[in-house]
Amino acid sequence: MRLTASNNTAAVTGIGASAVGYLLGPLADRHDTSGSVWLFILVLMVGLPAYFFVFGVKKEDMVGSWMLEPSLLRRIALFLVGAAAMASVLSVAQTLL
């Protein structure tokens, strides 16, 4: 099975990134050595899936103005919308509980 970036994977990755950030964010905010370790883990858990499931551009496709490609911009927007939606849901759930 080949992994490719699509609109659906971008939205799901945004939702997952927001959930991971919500759960691990307070651990990464510490001012001791363990905070740095948790920050590194958080970056890996958000950055790697975002690279593969949102960015998903091959080296040979990086020519010209490849960053302004509509499909890439659409995936980035869907990632941000998914993250914002999940953050809103988690914020409302925390307020209610």
> What tens digit of pLDDT does each residue of 8-23 get?
999 999 999 999 999 8
Predicted pLDDT at 60? 79
Phi, psi at 39, each rounded to 5°: -65, -40
Question: Tokens 């659906």 sit at which residue?
Answer: 8
| Separation CA 35–CA 29 (nearest Å) | 6
Phi, psi at 63, each rounded to 5°: -130, 150
Q: Encoding tokens for residue 16?
A: 């997952």
Q: List the chain domain ranges.
A: 7-96
The pLDDT of residue 52 is above 80: yes
Section 74-93 average pLDDT = 95
Burial of residue 35 (CB within 10 Å: 0-12, 13-18, 19+) is middle
